[in-house]
Structure formats: C-alpha cells, structure tokens
Chain A
Amino acid sequence: MRKSALTGALLATTFIASPALANDDVLKQTANPNQWVLQTGDYFNQRYSKLDQINKDNVKNLKVAWTFSTGVLRGHEGSPIVIGDTMYVHTPFPNIVYALDLNNEGRIIWKYEPKQDPSVIPVMCCDTVNRGLAYADGKVFLHQADTTVVALDAKNGKEIWKAVNGDPKKGETNTATVLPVKDKVIVGISGGEFGVQCHVTAYDMNTGKKVWRGYSIGPDDQILVDAEKTMSLGKPVGKDSSLKTWQGDQWKIGGGCTWGWFSYDPDLNLMYYGSGNPSTWNPTQRPGDNKWSMTLWGRDVDTGVAKWVYQMTPFDEWDYDGINEVILADIKVKGKDRKVAVHFDRNGFGYTLDRGTGELLVAEKYDPAVNWSTGVEMDPSKPNYGRPYVVDKYSTAKNGADVNTKGICPAALGSKDQQPATFSPKTGMFYVPTNHVCMDYEPFKVSYTAGQPYVGATLSMYPAPNSHGGMGNFIAWDAGEGKIVWSKPEPFSVWSGALATAGDVVFYGTLEGYLKAVDPKDGKELFKFKTASGIIGNVMTYSHKGKQYVALLSGIGGWAGIGLAAGLTNPNDGLGAVGGYAGLKNYTALGGVLTVFTLP
C-alpha cells in the first residue's frame, strides 16, 4: 500500500548517519531506582528494581496506600511512570494522560485528553488498550490509538509537537509505548489483521520530524537492510531477502506489525524488537517464508539499518505474532559469559541470542504443552539451521483451507502474549507470565479491502488438555540452559507484566484481580490482594520520600454484578431496573483503577 515516493528521502537519511547527540537523560533517569521512567523499567527491558524496602519477609504486610480511578472502562495495559515527585498515568482509548502529585496524595496536576475520531475503535483488533507513556528530557511521550505521536511538556501537559504515524482508515492503529533514545522517539504500528505493511519509525525528539522508517516486509530500501552487512544466522541476508520470500504483491499487505516493546543497548547502539504475523491468517494464500515477519530485529538507532535479523517462525501457520519483548541481560550461557537478548515468543519457544551478532544460542520450549514443533535445528552446518521442525499433524497449511486442524498448542495468543516478563540480575532468572492454552484452527480464503479485517481463519481456544486444567502458569526460566526452573499453575492466563525486585520478591497480577507476590527461588506465594477488577496491566515500583511503593492498573471487562440477577424471574429486568440508581452507577462506572501499595 505504501508508495515508494518515500524511498528517496529514506535512503538519504539512512546513509548520511545523523549526528549521535549525547543525550543520555533516559540513562541518567533510569539509573535512579526511586523512579520508573520507561514502561519497561530500563532500556534492557528487565523490569527489575533495585529497591528492597519491600522484601520477601514483609511483603505480606502490604496495604493499599491510595487508589486513583481513571474513569475509563476497557482494558488497562501498561503501567504508570514516576519521575521525581510526579506520577504520569495513561488510559485506554481516548488515551487520557494524568499528571499526579505524589507530594499531595495523588492530586491531579494536569490532564491531557486528545481528540480522536472514535471510528478508530472498530479498527483495533483486540480492544482499545494502550501500553503507556515514556519520559525523556522534560517530555512525556504518548502514542495514541489513532497513531498520533505526541510530546507533552511534563510540567504542564502542553503539546510540544505532534506527528501522525499512520492512517486508521487503512487499519493502521497503535497500542504500544514508544522508545525515547538519544535524540529520537521510536514507535511501532498495529494492523496485521487489516493487511498493513508495518514498520518502526524514528521521530526527532525535539521537533517530531520523521528521521527514518524501517518496514518489516518489502524491498531492501524500505526494510533498511544492507544485503552484505545485515546478518541472519551468521550469514549476510543478500539482495531482496524479503521480496524473494513472497508471491507477487502479497508483501504489500503483508503485516509484520510492530506493536510490542523496544529494548536498547547503548554500547552497541542497537534497538531490539519483534515483528508480527504475516497476513492473512490463511497460510495457503501466502506461500514462502514471508520474511521478515515473525522476526527478531537488531537495528542501529541512528540510521535504522538492521545489524541482524532472525526469523523464528518462517511461513507462519498459526498467528504466532513475534512481537513479544526482547530482554537484554548479561548471563552465562552453557557456562560462558554472554551478552544476550532473550525473547519468549508466542510460538512457545524461549530464544537466547547473542545481541551483538544475532547468533542463536538457545531455543527451547518454555511450556511443555507446545506441540506444533518438535524443536529448532541448532546445527549451523544443516541447511535448515535455525528453523523449527513443524509437526505435519498441526500444520494448518498442509491440512489446507477449510480444514479444522485440532489440538494445536499453543493457541494463537501464544504461550505468552505481550505481557512482559522480568529478569532479576540477583538470581539470574527470568520470571514469565504465560498462557497454557491450545486451539483448533480453520483457515479460509479472504480477499483484501483497505480498512477491512483481513483475518482468514476461525479459531477456538481452550486450556491445555491433560494438564492442571488451568489456563496459565507463572514460571521461572533459565535462559542460559533453556530450562523451566519452577512453574506455578494459575487458573487463568497471566496477562499482567511481572516485576522483580532486589527485595527478593516477584510481583504479577491475575485476571481474577489479584496482585500476587512470590518468592523468586521457588514461586511460593507470599502475598495476594484482590483489586477492583481483573489485571492486564504491569506491576511497577518507585520510592517517594524514603518509602517504597508498588503500583498497578486493574481494569478488564467490567463488574460481573452477579447479584443483579437475584430474585428476578427475568434476569434482564435487573439491568433495566437499576438504571435509575445513582449509587450503582458510581459503583460500576469506576472503570480502571490504579492501586498503590506500601508497607504500613
């Protein structure tokens, strides 16, 4: 869909390296553990806090310090951020931003409410969530549902600049946070279910001017790869590495969206993220490897040019969107110290790669239920090096369109979705919220119309059979060995991002609405507290005036209101009858709630 008028300008910016301004404000701010400046905690996406006032012995005493209602219903993903004495809270669509005064019991300092066309709502495939704000250089960055990127003055909420990243009329929307790095703000885009050719784009942090854009799919000058220098599994990718793997013009509506998280290594000057599924979901309509969908990327932040790529699921047949976070850590891999990138993919494999070169070090299942593949070829001398062995029985392409392939694990939402894992440098372990869900998948033929859903498969999902009956696990993972260390079953999938702290506690939320604290050594539950509603937000921590706080957003679906149907012959009468009660409106219309905990 994208015309190549952009290409010339792109090339120019790509190959004249922009001056690398020494803007290390984010590095400085994230080094202060009292703050929480990025959604991901730090550039490495570790979601680890050095704060240790709340620890494994006293966490059981946690009490609610204060709460804040966002006033918006719908799913609340992401978390607040804290800089100095101010907390910044975002909401799902309409993407309101609040600045709250921590010196004054969370009093609202300012509120920013963008004007967005509500027609963007039906184009968002999976609820109108937003995964939050980021901060750098006195600015708060918001990437709205309608793809408008806004820089706000952190002091007063005034717009400094705005940039429009996509067109919702073509199905281009946004749910992700942004990466402020050096003199740029880097953003992704959603729309894989609408046949968008997705990309990451860098904007100038001070002006909002577009600096570079790298597509996931397309000609080399659009995807910003260098045929000779961009590496994949130890070899240069070669010319037209993406185009060669698509039939005809399908790549133009090929997806590969970028709605996940971004990490960054300042030493290597590389940013990391995963690209999403190729569209449509019907594999028979797009033969080939569909590069570079389902791919982990390491891009130079100044030029956007990829240093390396690794495609996890060539020719996707299950919608195993590759967008999950890429966590950077320095760990021992099979006894050797390595600088790695770790990624828990939707496809059920936990990958460990060398983050400088993209060399594949470990690829193992992090849920034993995973059955679509028997494993990944790890021998570099083999022609299928780095590729998964697909089990025929679970191949929706082999079984073909209009055939229902049954019992595939994991389901399309993956062994894990976007909800980020955490890494504790103290234990060397990763703590991962997971889905334990399988599916039946029936692809069907679809034709493309701009702005219309372009899905092409019917799915039904259920908890993994012959297991504990629940839909989720919370696990500890050894990324150096590729092994599950412990696994704590959960009745529901864990859709909340985890937090590890120096106080030897790991936190996460559940769909029932519990904030849980567990022991990083064995997963033993140390504390739980039921918040206002189900949790799909991420846990964060900060410290104010010497006191540590833990905060998270709850909000998914709505109040079950079971009692409303009691005593009525026709349960639907209840809803009508209660319409007039102001008290009930206050009770149910609270929407998302931020709950802040501390020790008494």
Chain B
Amino acid sequence: MRLKSQSLDLPPRGLSGVGLGLATAAGLSAAMVMTMASLPTTAAELPPNDYPTVARADYVFACMQVNGQTRENLQKCSCSIDVIAELLPYEKYEEAETVLSVVQKGGESVSVFHSPLFQEKVKELKRAQVEGELRCF
C-alpha cells in the first residue's frame, strides 16, 4: 500500500537479526526496506524471508519452551522459523497467526474464521512448520 516512499523515514526497528538465513544480498536489502516500512501487508511487493525479528523471536521463544531451553534447541528452533519464513511470506504467516489468535474468542462474530478459506491459511502455515521440523529437528 504506497508504503515505501514515506516509510523510509521511519526509524529502523530490530534490524539486526533480520538478515539471518538470507541467501542473497538483494534479498537482504529488500528485507531491510520492508523492515523499515514497519511490517507492510501487501504480498506483491514482498521478497521471501521478510519476517520482523519480533515475530521470529516470538516463535523461537515458544519453541524453546516446549523443547527445552538449550543452545541446541535455540539452533533448531531458529532453523525451523527460518524454513517457515523461506516457504511463507510474512503476510501469510501473519494472517494465519491472526486467525489462530482470534478464534480463541468465541461467538458469532468470529465464526467466519472457521470457514475453509481461513482454515486453509492455518493449514498452509502448518505445512511450512512440518517442513521446518523435517529439516531442522
């Protein structure tokens, strides 16, 4: 959404660490732009692996809670979110995250999130997560 021009003035947020797991310099600079744009929502402009550090850290935090807080698990959990980020643009990850979060509220208003369309977004994330497990654990 017309983000880039003005959003470059924004202070960089959590830039360090965003480059983790990026293969190319082009990918890195694009990711930096997107980070400065503070989490854009439009897929078309996004390169792969555009996750903000806070989203990666949130994932690794939870992953280490269940697998154990060891150096080895830090490695595995980081690897697993990097695989997800490679397979799924952040926009898709965020959509699935929103669906998973919002359905925890019951009631008529959230029933739309139980529709196949939204559940498919969650399944896409789960598929990426399985891939992460196969490669990293």
Contact = CB atoms under 8 A, between A and B. Distances in A.
Interface string B1-28: 1110011011100000000000000000
A560 interface: yes
B109 A557 contact: no
B66 A564 contact: yes
B137 A563 contact: no
A22 interface: no
Contact of B60 (A125, A411, A459, A563): A563
Given A525-B3, A528-B39, A556 B101 contact: yes
Nearest to A529: B38
B77 A567 contact: yes
A462 B112 contact: yes
A560 B67 contact: no
A564 B62 contact: yes
B34 interface: no
Given A557-B101, A564-B63, A566-B132, A125 B108 contact: yes
Given A413-B109, A534-B101, A558-B104, A563 B59 contact: yes
Interface in B28-49: 38-39, 41
Contacts of B1: 488, 524-525
Contact of A562 (B7, B111, B125): B125
Contact of B98 (A127, A527, A534, A565): A534
Interface string A523-535: 0111111100110
A20 interface: no
A557 B106 CA distance: 8
Interface residues of A, number: 57
B65 A584 contact: yes
Contacts of A60: 6-7, 9-10
Interface string A61-82: 1000000000000110000000
Contacts, number: 152
Contact of B65 (A413, A511, A513, A581): A581
Nearest to A74: B105
Given A526-B6, A563-B77, A126 B65 contact: no
A568 B66 contact: yes
Nearest to A73: B104
A118 to B, nearest CB: 15
- Most chain B CB within a 10 A radius of its CB, from A417, A460, A526, A565: A565
Given A462-B117, A577-B66, A584-B65, A556 B102 contact: yes
- Most chain B CB within a 10 A radius of its CB, from A127, A557, A566: A566
A288 interface: no
Interface in A453-470: 459-463
B36 to A, nearest CB: 11
A460 B58 CA distance: 33
A560 B2 contact: no
Contacts of A161: none
A583 interface: yes
Interface string A571-587: 00110011001011001
Contacts of B107: 125-127
Given A566-B62, A581-B65, A559 B132 contact: no
A460 B6 CA distance: 40
B98 A511 contact: yes
A425 interface: no
A437 interface: yes
B112 A471 contact: yes
Nearest to A438: B112
Nearest to A555: B105
A561 interface: yes
A558 B102 CA distance: 7
Interface in B67-98: 67, 73, 76-77, 80-81, 91, 93-98
A495 B98 CA distance: 13
Nearest to A565: B129
Interface string B93-137: 111111011111111111110010100000001100100110011
A472 to B, nearest CB: 11
A75 B58 contact: no
Given A461-B111, A514-B39, A557 B67 contact: no
A492 interface: yes
A493 B132 CA distance: 31
A530 B59 contact: no
A495 B60 CA distance: 30
A533 B112 contact: no
A412 interface: yes
A505 to B, nearest CB: 13
Given A127-B107, A556-B101, A461 B62 contact: no
A126 B77 contact: no
A557 B102 contact: yes
Contact of B102 (A459, A534, A568): A534
Contacts of B94: 512
Contact of B58 (A492, A529, A563, A568): A563
Nearest to A455: B108
A560 to B, nearest CB: 4
A236 interface: no
Nearest to B61: A563
A491 interface: yes
Interface of A: 60-61, 74-75, 125-127, 411-413, 417, 437, 459-463, 471, 488, 491-493, 495, 511-514, 524-530, 533-534, 556-568, 573-574, 577-578, 581, 583-584, 587
* Shortest beta-carbon contacts, A-B, top 8: A563-B62, A557-B104, A563-B63, A563-B59, A461-B112, A560-B100, A566-B63, A126-B107
Interface of B: 1-3, 6-7, 9-11, 38-39, 41, 54, 58-67, 73, 76-77, 80-81, 91, 93-98, 100-112, 115, 117, 125-126, 129, 132-133, 136-137
13 contacts: A126-B107, A126-B109, A127-B106, A491-B95, A512-B41, A530-B39, A533-B101, A534-B102, A560-B96, A562-B58, A562-B97, A567-B67, A567-B76
Given A560-B96, A563-B65, A567-B63, 12 more contacts: A74-B105, A127-B105, A512-B97, A530-B39, A530-B54, A557-B101, A563-B77, A566-B80, A567-B77, A577-B65, A578-B65, A578-B66
